[in-house]
Amino acid sequence: MKLVFATLYVCGGVYSPRELGLWLRQFEDNPTAVVLVGNCHVGNLEGTFVHRIAFPRKQYQASASRYKYLRAKFELWALPFERVVYYDIEVLVKNPVGRCQKLCTSSFCAVRDPVATWPRKSKTYFNSGFMVLAPSKSVYRRLMMTHPERSKYADQDTLNKFFAGQWQKLPRECNWLNHNENHPGAVSDDSVFAVHSKGLLT
């Protein structure tokens, strides 16, 4: 299969099986994949490719417990697809869901994150809640050999260091962050393709 829409789910984590089901529902009639961390039952995953991994023995060192397993995002580069369009479970993706991946013309694309770098904003730092990538055994091996960043944003900081200067910037409409402060009407705005904020999928 050439392309898949993927997310990450941690058994016993901050998201419920219901939220995973709502995320999957956004991509009906499209191929989907779930990187599943741990051993749990999350409902009907028929038709969804499941890449299951055990809880890592060495957890990610992060300031917030919700980030400790996010190194599992590196597993995206091990998926058996030509192209992976990744969204966090908390991202509301509007139809047609494939608009942003069509804008990606390189092996790795993302959207700049001005929130994580506040108050000193960086134009070269991306948010890992949405990524378009080409799986690669070589990249996967190198990522798994990296030393995790001891920081608040865990996987995001490590990926930014790894792909520094080697990622294509997509428009912010593909991963609209912090929408209540920046644009209260982002959910209903047709020019915004995806809104990244916990609690939208209810």
28 inside domain: yes
User: Which pLDDT does position 185 carry in this prediction?
Assistant: 82
pLDDT digits (tens, 9 = 90+) for 27-36: 999 999 999 9
pTM: 0.90
Sort strands 32-37 and 83-87 into parallel, antiparallel or unpaired. unpaired
* Cα dist from 95 to 92, 101, 192, whole Å: 10, 13, 11
The domain spanning residue 67 has which CATH number? 3.90.550.10
**Rounded CA separation 7/4 (Å):** 10
Q: 201 in a domain, yes or no?
A: no
Look at residue 152 and give its three-state secondary structure.
coil
Q: What number is the average pLDDT over the span 34-47?
A: 92
In-domain check, residue 202:
no
Note whether residue 69 is domain-resident: yes
| Domain limits for position 152 | 3-196
Show the tokens assigned to 106. 């390189």
- Within a domain: 130: yes
Domains in the chain, number: 1
Question: Are the C-beta atoms of 185 and 128 separated by less than 8 Å?
Answer: no
Q: Is residue 36 part of a domain?
A: yes
Q: Has residue 49 been placed in a domain? A: yes
The answer to whether position 115 is within a domain reads yes
